[in-house]
C-alpha cells in the first residue's frame, strides 16, 4: 500500500510537471532537458572526483589529515547550504497539502515526498555523489571499515536538511504577510553583507596577523577538535573519520545514530507544525489592548489603545504637516525598500571608514577637520535618490494629497519631517563613527553635528525641487524604479553630481579654520562657530523656500500624479 501511494504521488507530480512544460511550449521542454543532463553530468563528475580523491589522495594519509579533510568538506557544505537557505528561505511544497486533504492518502507520506522533492538542490546534487565516491575510494584504499563513513555523512546531511525544512516551514507560517516576508529576507541579506566588513575589522583591528596564534598553537587547537566533536553534531563526521582511520568504528556508529535521531526529531517537528498550519491551529493570542468584559458581554479597549499614533500632534507645527509626516513615517517603517536603502548606507559607511582607517596617521591628522564634511557629502550623494523622489514611493496614495485642501508647502514640510528621523540617525551614526574611528577633538565632533544639520537642510531643499520636477514611480517592496523616460534618467544622474556642489558650504568652516590656523596663532574654534552659524542660516533659508516650492508643487501636482501612478514596467 505504501509503494502504491508513492507511485500515485510520483505520477501526479510527473503529470503536473508535464502540464507546466506544455504551457511553456517546446522551449520549456528543451531547457528542462538541458538542466537534467547538466545535473546528471555534475553528479557523475562529483562522484568520479570524490572516488579519485579517496582512492589516490587519501590512501596513505594520517588520521589527523583525514579528519581535517572531512572538516573542510563539512564546513564548505554547511556554508553552501546556508547560502541556499538565505536565497530560498520560505518553504515551497512540491504538492500542495490543501489539495489532498480530502483524499484517503496519509498526509505523512505526502509530507515526506515533499521533503525529499524540496531538497533536490545543486548542493545535494554535488555533495551526495561526492560522499559516495569518497567513501568508495577510501574503502578501496584504507579498508572496509571506511564504509561506515557513508551512513555517517548522509546522516549529517539528513539532520541538517530536516531541521532546515522545519525552519523554512516556521518562516512560511510566520511570513504569510508578504511585507513581513520581504522584511525578513532583507534583514537576512543585510546581515550576510555585514559579515564581510565585520570579519575584516576583526582580523585587522582585534586580531591582526602579528597577534595570530603560532603554528604550534594552531596544531594544539586541532588536537582538541575530537573533544569538541563529541558535543557539536556537524563535527561528528570528521571525528568519526579520524576514528575510522584508527580502525575504531564506535564513534562513527554512535554519530550515525545520533544524527539520524536528531533528523527524525526535526522532521517530526516540521510535520507537526505543518499539520497545525493546515488545520488553522495558529495559536493566536488576543490583542493586549483589548479586554473582554465578562459581566457586560462587551469589549472595551485599554487606555493605551486610545493614544493613536496618527493622531499625535506637535504644537509648533501645522496640523496638516503633522498628519502627512506621521502617515508617511508609519508607511516608511513598514516598507522593505527603506530597510534596503538604509542598510546599504550603513554598510557603505562602514567600508568608507574602514578604508580611511588604513591610511597613515601623518596624513589623517592635518585633514581631520575635513573628514566629517566629506563623509556627509558622500552620504548626501547616496541619499538623494531616496529624498529626491519623495512622491514616487506614494504611488496611488499621492491621489489623497492631491485631493486634500492642505497648503502644498505644509505637505512638503510633512514629507521632509517623515524622512528626518532616518536621515538624522544616519548622520548621527556617521559623525559618531568618524569621531571615534579617527579620534577627532571634541569641538570638531560638535561642529560635525551642526554640519549634519546643514547637510539635512540642503538635502531637503534639493530633494523637494527634484521630487517636484522629475518624479517617477518605484516598485512596491524594492528600490527599483519603473521604466523612466531618458529625460528623467539623465536629470537624476546629473543631480547626483549637482548635490555635491550644493554641499560645498559644509566644507567652508573647516577650510576657514585650516587656512587661518596655518597662517595665524588664533585659538578661536572657527570651525565650530561657523558651522553653528551655517546651520542657522541654512535652516532659515529652508523655511523661505517652502512657500515658492509649495506653489510649484501646486502647479505640477497633476503631472506628478500621472507619473507616480503609471504602472509601466
Instruction: Tell me which residue of 395, 406, 430 sits closest to 325, measured CA to CA.
Output: 406
Same domain, 7 and 85: yes
Same domain, 347 and 244: no
**536 has a pLDDT exceeding 90:** yes
Best-predicted range by mean pLDDT (39-43, 217-221, 261-265): 261-265
Element (DSSP H or E) covering residue 435: helix 408-438
Q: What is the pLDDT of residue 454?
A: 92
**122 has a pLDDT exceeding 70:** yes
Q: What is the pLDDT of residue 301?
A: 43
For helices 526-564 and 508-519, give the axis angle rounded to 10 degrees: 160
Q: How far apart are CA 357 and CA 201, in angstroms?
A: 10
Q: What is the pLDDT of residue 337?
A: 60
Question: Cα(first)–Cα(last) distance of the chain, in Å?
Answer: 51
Alpha-carbon distance values, 88 to 122, 167, 270, 341 (Å): 13, 12, 17, 21
Q: What does the buried/exposed string (b/e) look like for 8-24 if buried means 16 or more CB atoms within 10 Å of the residue's CB?
A: ebeebeeeeeeeebeee
The answer to whether residue 235 sits within a structural domain is: yes
More confident position, 63 or 303: 63
Same domain, 228 and 107: yes
Residues in CB range of 8: below 8 A, 6 or more apart: 105
Same domain, 364 and 260: no
Phi-psi region of 485 (alpha: psi -120 to 50; beta: other; left: phi over 0): beta
Tell me the pLDDT tens digit for each residue of 175-233. Answer: 555 556 556 656 665 566 566 556 655 555 544 444 445 545 555 555 556 666 677 88
Same domain, 524 and 398: yes
**512 has a pLDDT exceeding 50:** yes
What is the tally of structural domains in the chain? 2
Same domain, 369 and 476: yes
Q: What is the pLDDT of residue 291?
A: 40
Q: What is the pLDDT of residue 318?
A: 84
Same domain, 37 and 127: yes
Q: What is the pLDDT of residue 191?
A: 64
Same domain, 66 and 174: yes
Q: What is the pLDDT of residue 299?
A: 43
Domain that holds residue 498: 320-564
Tell me the pLDDT tens digit for each residue of 368-418. Answer: 788 888 888 888 887 888 888 888 777 667 788 888 888 888 989 988 888
**Residue 186 near residue 105, CB atoms below 8 Å:** no
Same domain, 236 and 122: yes
Same domain, 262 and 343: no
Long-range contacts of 480-485 (CB under 8 A, 24+ apart): 481/389, 481/392, 482/566, 482/567, 482/568, 482/569, 483/568, 483/569
The answer to whether residue 311 sits within a structural domain is: no
Best-predicted range by mean pLDDT (15-19, 190-194, 375-379, 534-538): 534-538
**Residue 6 near residue 113, CB atoms below 8 Å:** yes
Instruction: Tell me which residue of 383, 405, 385, 409 sits closest to 545, measured CA to CA.
Output: 409
Q: How far apart are CA 436 and CA 123, in angstroms?
A: 43
Mean pLDDT of the chain: 75
Residues in CB range of 432: below 8 A, 6 or more apart: none
Q: What does the buried/exposed string (b/e) look like for 81-92 if buried means 16 or more CB atoms within 10 Å of the residue's CB?
A: beebbeeebebe
Q: Which three cell numbers stand for residue 529?
A: 562657530
**Residue 215 near residue 134, CB atoms below 8 Å:** no
**439 has a pLDDT exceeding 60:** yes
The answer to whether residue 296 sits within a structural domain is: no
Half-sphere exposure of 462 (CA within 13 A, CB side): 25
Dump the DSSP string for 480-502: -B----HHHHHHHHHHHHHHHHH
The answer to whether residue 550 sits within a structural domain is: yes
Mean pLDDT of 98-108: 68
The answer to whether residue 286 sits within a structural domain is: no
The mean-pLDDT minimum among 5-9, 123-127, 407-411, 446-450 falls in 5-9
**Residue 459 near residue 538, CB atoms below 8 Å:** no
Q: What is the pLDDT of residue 212?
A: 47
User: Which of 278, 297, 331 is the C-terminal boundary of a domain?
Assistant: 278
**252 has a pLDDT exceeding 80:** yes
Tell me the pLDDT tens digit for each residue of 317-344. Answer: 888 888 888 888 887 776 666 666 666 6
The answer to whether residue 569 sits within a structural domain is: no
Q: Which three cell numbers stand for residue 183?
A: 522584511
More confident position, 272 or 207: 272
**Residue 511 near residue 367, CB atoms below 8 Å:** no
Q: What is the pLDDT of residue 541?
A: 92
Alpha-carbon distance values, 383 to 115, 184, 432, 435, 442 (Å): 44, 23, 19, 21, 27
Give how far the C-alpha of residue 544 lies from the chain's centroid of Cα atoms, to the nearest Å. 40
Q: What is the pLDDT of residue 303?
A: 44
Q: Which residues pair with 291 in a beta bridge?
A: 300
**538 has a pLDDT exceeding 80:** yes
Mean pLDDT of 24-37: 68
The answer to whether residue 158 sits within a structural domain is: yes
Q: What is the pLDDT of residue 278?
A: 67
Tell me the pLDDT tens digit for each residue of 476-510. Answer: 555 555 555 666 777 777 877 788 888 888 888 88
Q: How far apart are CA 85 and CA 257, in angstroms?
A: 25
Q: How far apart are CA 186 and CA 171, in angstroms?
A: 14
Alpha-carbon distance values, 161 to 89, 132, 168, 237, 356 (Å): 13, 18, 10, 16, 43
Same domain, 423 and 518: yes
Dump the DSSP string for 503-561: TGGGTHHHHHHHHHHHH------HHHHHHHHHHHHHHHHHHHHHHHHHHHHHHHHHHHH
Q: What is the pLDDT of residue 518?
A: 59
The answer to whether residue 414 sits within a structural domain is: yes
**Residue 272 near residue 173, CB atoms below 8 Å:** no
The mean-pLDDT minimum among 80-89, 209-218, 297-306, 444-453 falls in 297-306
Q: Which band of pLDDT confidence, cut at 50, 70 and 90, is reported for residue 542?
A: very high
Q: What is the pLDDT of residue 544?
A: 93
Phi-psi region of 143 (alpha: psi -120 to 50; beta: other; left: phi over 0): left
Q: What is the pLDDT of residue 202?
A: 54
Q: Which band of pLDDT confidence, cut at 50, 70 and 90, is reported for residue 262?
A: very high
Q: What is the pLDDT of residue 350?
A: 65
Q: Name the residue with cell 553552501.
A: 80
Same domain, 272 and 131: yes
Tell me the pLDDT tens digit for each residue of 308-318. Answer: 666 677 777 88
Q: How far apart are CA 122 and CA 39, in angstroms?
A: 8
Amino acid at each position: 500500500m505504501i509503494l502504491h501511494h508513492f507511485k500515485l504521488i510520483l505520477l501526479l507530480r510527473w503529470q503536473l510537471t508535464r502540464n507546466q512544460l506544455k504551457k511553456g511550449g517546446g522551449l520549456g521542454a528543451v531547457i528542462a532537458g538541458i538542466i537534467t543532463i547538466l545535473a546528471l553530468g555534475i553528479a557523475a563528475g562529483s562522484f568520479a572526483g570524490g572516488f579519485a580523491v579517496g582512492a589516490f589522495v587519501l590512501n596513505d594519509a594520517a588520521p589527523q589529515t583525514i579528519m581535517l579533510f572531512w572538516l573542510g568538506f563539512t564546513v564548505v557544505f554547511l556554508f553552501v547550504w546556508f547560502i541556499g537557505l538565505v536565497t530560498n528561505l520560505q518553504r515551497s511544497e512540491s504538492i500542495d497539502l490543501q489539495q489532498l486533504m480530502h483524499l484517503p492518502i496519509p498526509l505523512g507520506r505526502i509530507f515526506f515526498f515533499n521533503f525529499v522533492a524540496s531538497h533536490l538542490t545543486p548542493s545535494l546534487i554535488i555533495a551526495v555523489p561526492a560522499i559516495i565516491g569518497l567513501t568508495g575510494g577510501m574503502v578501496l584504499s584504507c579498508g572496509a571499515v571506511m564504509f561506515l563513513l557513508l551512513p555517517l555523512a548522509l546522516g549529517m546531511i539528513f539532520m541538517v536538511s530536516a531541521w532546515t525544512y522545519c525552519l523554512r516551514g516556521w518562516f512560511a507560517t510566520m511570513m504569510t504577510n508578504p511585507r513581513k516576508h520581504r522584511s525578513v529576507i532583507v534583514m537576512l541579506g543585510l546581515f550576510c553583507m555585514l559579515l564581510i566588513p565585520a570579519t575584516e575589522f576583526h582580523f585587522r583591528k582585534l586580531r591582526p596577523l602579528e597577534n595570530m596564534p603560532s603554528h604550534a598553537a594552531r596544531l594544539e587547537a586541532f588536537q582538541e577538535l575530537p573533544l569538541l566533536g563529541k558535543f557539536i553534531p556537524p563535527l561528528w563526521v570528521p571525528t568519526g573519520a579520524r576514528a575510522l582511520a584508527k580502525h575504531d568504528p564506535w564513534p562513527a556508529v554512535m554519530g550515525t545514530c545520533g544524527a539520524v535521531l536528531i533528523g527524525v526529531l526535526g522532521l517530526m517537528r516540521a510535520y507537526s507544525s505543518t499539520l497545525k498550519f493546515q488545520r488553522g491551529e495558529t495559536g493566536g493570542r488576543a490583542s493586549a489592548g483589548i479586554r473582554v468584559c465578562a459581566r457586560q458581554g462587551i469589549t472595551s479597549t485599554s487606555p493605551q489603545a486610545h493614544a493613536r499614533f496618527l493622531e499625535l500632534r506637535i504644537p509648533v507645527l501645522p496640523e496638516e504637516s503633522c498628519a502627512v509626516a506621521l502617515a508617511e513615517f508609519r508607511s516608511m517603517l513598514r516598507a522593505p525598500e527603506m530597510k534596503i536603502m538604509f542598510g546599504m548606507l550603513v554598510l557603505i559607511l562602514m567600508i568608507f571608514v574602514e578604508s580611511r582607517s588604513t591610511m597613515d596617521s601623518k596624513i589623517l591628522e592635518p585633514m581631520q577637520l575635513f573628514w566629517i564634511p566629506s563623509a556627509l557629502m558622500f552620504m548626501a550623494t547616496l541619499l538623494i535618490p531616496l529624498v529626491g523622489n519623495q512622491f514616487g514611493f506614494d504611488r496611488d496614495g499621492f491621489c489623497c494629497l492631491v485631493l486634500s485642501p492642505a497648503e502644498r508647502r505644509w505637505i512638503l514640510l510633512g514629507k521632509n519631517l517623515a524622512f528626518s528621523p532616518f536621515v538624522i540617525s544616519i548622520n548621527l551614526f556617521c559623525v559618531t563613527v568618524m569621531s571615534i574611528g579617527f579620534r577627532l577633538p571634541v569641538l570638531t565632533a560638535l561642529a560635525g553635528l551642526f554640519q549634519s544639520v546643514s547637510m539635512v537642510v540642503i538635502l531637503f531643499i534639493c530633494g523637494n525641487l527634484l521630487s517636484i520636477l522629475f518624479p517617477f514611480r518605484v516598485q512596491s517592496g524594492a528600490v527599483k524604479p519603473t521604466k523612466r523616460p531618458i529625460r528623467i534618467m539623465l536629470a537624476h544622474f546629473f543631480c547626483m553630481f549637482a548635490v555635491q556642489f550644493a554641499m560645498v558650504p559644509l566644507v567652508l568652516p573647516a577650510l576657514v579654520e585650516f587656512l587661518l590656523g596655518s597662517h595665524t596663532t588664533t585659538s578661536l574654534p572657527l570651525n565650530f562657530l561657523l558651522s553653528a552659524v551655517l546651520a542657522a542660516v541654512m535652516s532659515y533659508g529652508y523655511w523661505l523656500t517652502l512657500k515658492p516650492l509649495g506653489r510649484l508643487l501646486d502647479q505640477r501636482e497633476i503631472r506628478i500624479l500621472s507619473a507616480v501612478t503609471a504602472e509601466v514596467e
